[in-house]
Structures are given as C-alpha cells and as structure tokens.
Amino acid sequence: MKWTRRDFMKLTGAGVAGLGLVQLGVDLGPARAYAAGLKTEGAKEVITVCPFCSVSCNIIGSVKDGKLVSTEGDPDYPINRGALCAKGAALLSMTRNEHRLTKPMYRAPNSDKWEEKSWDWMFERIAQRVKETRDKDFIFKDDKGRTVNRLETVFFHGTSHADNEELALAHQICKGLGLVYLDHQART
C-alpha cells in the first residue's frame, strides 16, 4: 500500500496519538464524540485547484450531502504542501456566505441611503454611465500626436472573490473600452 503525506498525518494525528494517550490511561471517549460531530465526518474528499491566482495551489474539498462543507490545503501537493494564503483559505465562503448581498444596492449621488434595485436596472445604469463617460473623455491622441486610444476617468476595481477566469474576462472588457486604470487580486 502506498502512503501519502495525508494518510500519514491522519494516522499520526488520530491513531498513533490516540494509542499513546490510551496507554497513558486517558479516556478518549469525549474526543471521539467531538470528532464524530465534525462537519467533515463522513464527507467525500475531492481535490480541486484554488481559482484565485496562477500559483494554483491544490485544495481538498469535503462534500457532504451534495454540499461543500470544508476546504483546506492539500498536504500531498508539492506546490503548497497544505498551506493556503488568506484568499485560498477563504475559498469556502465563495460558495456559502451569509453576509453576501444577493441583490444590487444603489446609492444615488449625494444620497446617504442605499436602495435595492433589479439587476436589469443596474446593468442599464452602469452601461449608460460608462458610455456617457467614455464618449466625453476618450483620448485618441496624446499631446505629442501619438495614437493612445485610452480612457482615464473610469477605474475598474475587482473583488477579491472573483476568480482568474472572471477577471481575465473583465480585464479584456476593460481593455476593449480603453481603460488604463484597473486592479484586482488575480494579477499574480
């Protein structure tokens, strides 16, 4: 049988340590009861790749009853060896997050109130504002007469919870509009 680093960690973490404690007369009943209540108990493990940057760390996802219940770094993968940065460690909240807004919120200029709007209304509004600003401010040539075709009055700021592919698409859209100021977390 071939042992992986993960198998070894499980064995040393649960089996060997448990054996040593039993020999010392420690009652493992409460610990076993606690372990039985863990969210990953009985879950199926699947290997996936962190979507947030080009390092591409491996992540073990635990799936229970068709739902992702836990994510952690894969100790068998040579690139990250079980470690994850803050973005990768927060991957689970991409799929489930009770704090996430599910409807667009709009705050009108000079207002101190947020209003709930429909997606259609919000897309229309964003498209209108981008077009107005681009039509007004687009720079075709610089002060030396060189063609630059750029827009300096719109800034794109990507969320830290957008993945590489979403941001690659957003990047192309921004470049197509002539934006030169844009930033997001998938640039590494």
Q: Which region among 11-19, 30-38, 85-93, 170-178 touches ligand SF4 (by CB under 6 A)?
A: 85-93
Report residue 48 CA to chain centroid gap. Answer: 13
DSSP state letters, 104-153: -EE--TT----EE--HHHHHHHHHHHHHHHHHHH-EEE-TTS-EEEEEEE
- Output the furthest CA–CA distance in the chain (Å, rounded): 85
Window contacting ligand SF4 (CB under 6 A); options: 30-38, 48-56, 142-150, 151-159: 48-56
- The backbone torsions φ and ψ at residue 43, rounded to the nearest 5 degrees and listed phi first, read -80, 155
> Among all residues, whose Cβ is closest to ligand SF4?
88
Minimum distance of ligand SF4 from residue 70's CB (angstroms):
15
Using CB under 6 A, pick the residue from 11, 46, 55, 105 that binds ligand SF4.
Answer: 55
- Asked if 57 touches ligand SF4 (CB under 6 A), the answer is yes
Give 67's strand partners: 64
Binding site for ligand SF4 (CB under 6 A): 50, 52-53, 55-57, 80, 84-85, 87-88
